[in-house]
Amino acid sequence: MTDEDTPTDIYADGGTAEGADSVAIDPWGSSTIGDYGDLFSEFGIESFEDVLADVPYPHYLMRRGVIFGHREYDRVAAAMANDDPFAALSGFMPTGDPHIGHKLVFDELIWHQQRGGDVYGLIADLEAHSARGISWPEIDEHARNYLLSLLALGFDPDEGTLYRQSTNRDVQDLGFELGSRANFSEFEAIYGFDGETSVSHMQSVVTQMADILYPQLADEPKPTVIPVGPDQDPHVRFARDLAVRMRYFKVTEAFASFEADDAERVLLGDAYDSLSSETAPDADGHTAADEPVRCEDAAQWLSMADIDPEFEPARRSAIGKLESAGKEPLRPRVRFFHRHGPEAAFEAMIGAIDGEKRVYEGHIDSFDLDLGAAEELAREVELDHGGFGFMQPSSIYHRFMSGLTGGKMSSSIPASHISLLDDPEDGYDKVKAASTGGRQTAAEQRELGGEPDKCPVYELYAYLLAADDDEFATRVYEECAGGDRLCGDCKEQAAQLMKEFLADHHEKREEAAELLSELDIDLDLDRRGPGGAH
């Protein structure tokens, strides 16, 4: 599908009730997103629209803007396009019935599996027990329902992996190792934990970090995407940080013997590029390229350069370091810092780096490798010496579905959502009773048009009922906005489609029951415990 083929007028907003806080992210609370654009600036999430053209045969949730953001999904898209290994993983906390909001994640996992990914679906039972106090018998029942719906929607267990946190020893072992690189102050800063937070709740977070990195234990590290709602972004950010901390070597660009932070390196690169490009020959035929760029010259250039004001603190610190280095040559290089791991890994890295290099206590400078090649080499040496070699996991983010009754969709308000276990007739009735983005009267609707961007019923079309038929979703949107579609007829059509979907889904769940019974997943755990609370 080309950009021209991608509809731009059927993006469902999926926003929250009017007056909601702009951004309130809590993985275990009632998160609200008033303006999804705030997530780009506040948390560094990137617009999915920027990477959409690079995704082979994008899912309709991507095409319609329901999947609105990402972190480094370009690496996954590139692997997909080149038939290279990649993985996808997401988890489900079994605290209630699966509903149509969970179907978004089910669909995302299944689509990545169909695109050739190594896909994992997990039951976050430790989280449910520790953070929500759900009893083990309840967890068993809910876990079964989640897995049945995932299988019924098309997940292939022969080509993917399904597991429970509590029975996966590899995840438990990895969580223990990750815990050695985390500290309580981070739990306070990221999640607001305090002295009243149970230890089991903190342990469940470390287990989730292990879940996110678990696909990279198989075969070799690979690009891995975690499809989630934006409320789960704190977990993604923490896992990305821990993936880096577990690495034996930190690989960065450098320009001199002194250390520089990211902002300083940008300025040093600008100074080097400018000074080294002065190639006009002098009277003797020499050019600036024949002489090394000196740190003191870069300091003078940087003091006069016109830069973005936000780099001003970095400029001052960089000039100080350059002046202290004096006549030392300023020269691009790649630096390998030995963070931790066996000394043998550091010695092996020295031998693995070809070309010009300099060895210092604790780091190595290479003058012939580019950053990408250096990172791959560091990963290879780490894996050869017992390390994990993790890549930072990627993520994609979908919009929250609005509740059928207005405001947020809530599992605790049955009328606000449709459970995948609902009787088809009940699903029909819920849609018929849903709020809409229509006007007060039919005459006003025909004159002014409806407001599909504020309509929970239109969201049902965009997120689920239109399935892969973009033309149908677009037609519903345009007919509503143009006043040609009235709410009564629209809800009747949506209610019938929902009834048909649920009837079909129930039939497929019955077929999946036999398949689930053959899988190596214990859905009747013999565990004792009253549950926890955070």
pLDDT tens, 170-182? 999 999 999 999 9
**Is residue 485 a part of any domain in this protein?**
yes
- pLDDT at residue 408, as a whole number: 74
Q: What gap in Å lies between CA 25 and CA 48, rounded to an integer?
A: 19
- pLDDT at residue 14, as a whole number: 32
Domain count, the chain: 2
**Is residue 323 a part of any domain in this protein?**
yes
Over range 45-52, report the average pLDDT.
Answer: 94
Structure tokens at 524: 């009747």
Residues 369 and 265 both lie in one domain: yes
**Is residue 132 a part of any domain in this protein?**
no
Q: Which of 369, 384, 399 is the last residue of a domain?
A: 384
CA distances from 487 to 17, 398, 480, 495, 499 (A): 20, 26, 8, 12, 18
DSSP bridge pairs for 88: 119, 225
User: Does residue 96 have a pLDDT over 80?
Assistant: yes
Residue 357 DSSP label: E
User: Does residue 15 have a pLDDT over 50?
Assistant: no
**Is residue 533 a part of any domain in this protein?**
no
Which residues are CB-neighbours of 314 under 8 A, at least 6 positions away?
261, 263, 264, 266, 267
For residue 208, give the nearest of 157, 248, 171, 256 by alpha carbon. 171
User: Does residue 238 have a pLDDT over 90?
Assistant: yes
Residues 326 and 448 both lie in one domain: no
Residues 366 and 444 both lie in one domain: no
For residue 352, give the nearest of 383, 329, 388, 330 by alpha carbon. 383
Residues 436 and 493 both lie in one domain: yes
CA distances from 253 to 256, 264, 298, 317 (A): 10, 11, 17, 17
Domain encompassing residue 374: 250-278+285-384
- pLDDT at residue 493, as a whole number: 97
**Is residue 325 a part of any domain in this protein?**
yes
Residues 430 and 368 both lie in one domain: no
Residues 374 and 488 both lie in one domain: no
Exposure of 440 by Cβ count < 10 A (0-12 exposed, 13-18 middle, 19+ buried)? exposed
Identify which has the larger pLDDT, 486 or 14.
Answer: 486
Quickly state the pLDDT bin for 128 (edges 50, 70, 90): very high
Residues 380 and 489 both lie in one domain: no
> Dihedral of CA 462/466/467/473: which sign?
negative
Work out whether strand 32-33 and strand 118-123 pair parallel, antiparallel, or are unpaired: unpaired
Quickly state the pLDDT bin for 219 (edges 50, 70, 90): confident
Quickly state the pLDDT bin for 415 (edges 50, 70, 90): confident
Q: What gap in Å lies between CA 353 and CA 188, rounded to an integer?
A: 41
Quickly state the pLDDT bin for 236 (edges 50, 70, 90): very high
- pLDDT at residue 195, as a whole number: 87
- pLDDT at residue 54, as a whole number: 97
Over range 320-333, report the average pLDDT.
Answer: 96
CATH number reported for the structural domain that contains residue 425 in this entry = 1.10.240.10
User: Does residue 224 have a pLDDT over 60?
Assistant: yes
Quickly state the pLDDT bin for 534 (edges 50, 70, 90): very low
Tell me how far the alpha carbon of residue 42 is from its chain's centroid: 15
- pLDDT at residue 158, as a whole number: 96
Highest-pLDDT range among 43-52, 194-203, 298-307, 406-415:
298-307
Residues 256 and 335 both lie in one domain: yes
- pLDDT at residue 31, as a whole number: 43
Averaged pLDDT score across all residues of the chain: 88
Work out the end-to-end distance of the chain between its first and last CA atoms, rounded to an integer number of angstroms: 46
Say what the pTM is: 0.86
Identify which has the larger pLDDT, 111 or 400.
Answer: 111
- pLDDT at residue 466, as a whole number: 96
Which tens digit of pLDDT belongs to each residue from 439-473?
A: 888 898 899 988 898 899 999 999 999 999 999 99
User: Does residue 411 have a pLDDT over 90?
Assistant: no
Quickly state the pLDDT bin for 22 (edges 50, 70, 90): very low
Residue 120 DSSP label: E
Residues 467 and 512 both lie in one domain: yes
User: Does residue 7 have a pLDDT over 60?
Assistant: no
For residue 457, give the nearest of 469, 443, 473, 446 by alpha carbon. 473
Quickly state the pLDDT bin for 36 (edges 50, 70, 90): low
**Is residue 471 a part of any domain in this protein?**
yes
Residues 508 and 423 both lie in one domain: yes
- pLDDT at residue 284, as a whole number: 53
Exposure of 30 by Cβ count < 10 A (0-12 exposed, 13-18 middle, 19+ buried)? exposed
pLDDT > 70: percent of the chain: 88
Over range 312-336, report the average pLDDT.
Answer: 96
Amino acid letter at 467? A
Identify which has the larger pLDDT, 347 or 407.
Answer: 347
Contact, 340 vs 387, CB < 8 A?
no
**Is residue 193 a part of any domain in this protein?**
no
Helix (H) or strand (E) holding 271: helix 262-276
**Is residue 66 a part of any domain in this protein?**
no
Contact, 439 vs 424, CB < 8 A?
no
For residue 109, give the nearest of 150, 77, 70 by alpha carbon. 150
Residues 342 and 456 both lie in one domain: no
User: Does residue 88 have a pLDDT over 90?
Assistant: yes
Residues 423 and 367 both lie in one domain: no
